[in-house]
Structure 1
């Protein structure tokens, strides 16, 4: 630990910094290139802040947008706080805004826990994040166990802010994309090829603004390339992380490639549940998923 609440991992040519006090967010991820130079993978996260514009944060117990911060269950309507009240929505869940407890720390491993409970919110859960560095890269796993007394819908995901510079490319294959309404919620499913064709690779540094969700990400794999730097990254998801969300702003030096468990606002858009649903967990039941980041030089992946 280099300063209060910041924990640093350094092994196998990777260096990771995690802020336990601000959502257990990654504030930095670096990879040592074969020439010895360190490559910054993530856009910088301002110190002492949740990773809202850089670094990487965890989304739970839902990923992305929830319309009105509400949904219906057999036991009645569930309402959660609106953290984007001007847009009448809740976004990205609760755990990113909380201090997490560190239960294990070593040079190559960090395990943190968020025991979430709030009198005004029905969701209650224990979320464990294990971050480890091995010869094949950085692995970040999530395990969420419901501690609520009632059955509720849970989801999760990761929201990394990757650096974007000239000649930055993204490649992945998916079956289904979605239309998008003026508030950013998914509408009509359509073949992924009807939108930007990431299957052939796209230079995100030249893309117009884009915010889209993808289902049928059967390979669970995407390739990021910083061609000017000669660096490639493979991002993969498994377990519950079966979908991919991509955000490419056109005015900021960032882009996001987010392995997630469900379609945004699927709580209220049940016609889209077949493309990625939340998991209804009873007391003591668990949802788990994992993201892996592996870097190599040039065409090495």
Structure 2
């Protein structure tokens, strides 16, 4: 990860909002506040700095795990190095482990870019994040362009961390990806009562680490004790949502993503998994908008 002595920060502000970006640390977000209140978990500096300690990071050119980092694509066998040890799988692509460049920025907007040259992932690509602060929230546009010579499996997403406190969530979940064993889900089922988030659920009462399909693109998070609500609206390209509510942690995650885990190895059709195939020069893009309201 990035050398802590060289870690750069880019701060965007409006009257009510403040966004801190950490381009060197996987193009991560370091913090997002509304009227000085944390909307995302603030970055805590540690000796071993990682995007896993930030307020959120991008997922390119895929999200979730690829089983043991292996898959076949158009008669090409691909083997990715595990990047979340001690797990044997590859997870979330390469961009979150790389330094990004600031392509442009102003007082309330910035564009970060990452150009990947083929290594174990055999396709060149460009990943982009366009951040724009509003007085009541944040718009984030994600773009992935295939710069390789042939078609590339593709996906994208965003991995924000929200402060737990007294939070409750409402997510229009439809079905949930499940596995009989291990970390690689391979079947899509109706969620059990404990995983049904279609009405308000208190985060402290949940124990989830699952990918869901969603029937609508609006998810809500509330902190009654702070009288704050976040409405997160995702483009239809982001037809999946990963919900992670680890016990005894001060955060939880509601992650808009384009596809199911291990989609490249799935026996299900791409219409169900959400996996894209990008031709050379083609771009996949999707927007996520956070709007903060007082309740």
Range class of TM-score, shorter chain: over 0.9
**Kept after mapping to 2: 8 A contact 1:25/1:50:** no
Q: Does 1:240 align with 2:226?
A: no
Partners of 1:129 and 1:270 lie apart in 2 by 31
Which residue is 1:59 aligned to? Answer: 59
Partners of 2:32 and 2:170 lie apart in 1 by 21
Q: Does 1:24 align with 2:23?
A: no
TM-score, with length taken from structure 2: 0.92
Partners of 1:219 and 1:136 lie apart in 2 by 22
Match of 1:231 among 200, 224, 228: 228
Deviation at 1:119, TM superposition (A): 3.4
Partners of 1:15 and 1:135 lie apart in 2 by 9
TM-score, with length taken from structure 1: 0.90
Deviation at 1:47, TM superposition (A): 3.3
Which residue is 2:88 aligned to? Answer: 88
Q: Does 1:284 align with 2:284?
A: no
Deviation at 1:69, TM superposition (A): 0.7
Which residue is 2:3 aligned to? Answer: none
Partners of 1:182 and 1:87 lie apart in 2 by 14
Aligned-residue Cα RMSD (Å) equals 1.8
Gaps of 5+ in 2: 1-5
Partners of 1:20 and 1:99 lie apart in 2 by 6
Q: How many residues are matched? A: 288
**C-alpha distance 105-47 of structure 1, shift in aligned 2 (>3 A):** farther
Which residue is 1:259 aligned to? Answer: 256
Which residue is 1:98 aligned to? Answer: 98
Structure 1's consecutive aligned runs of 4 or more residues displaced over 4 angstroms after TM superposition are: none
**Kept after mapping to 2: 8 A contact 1:83/1:90:** yes
**Secondary structure at the residue paired with 2:123?**
strand
**Kept after mapping to 2: 8 A contact 1:26/1:56:** yes
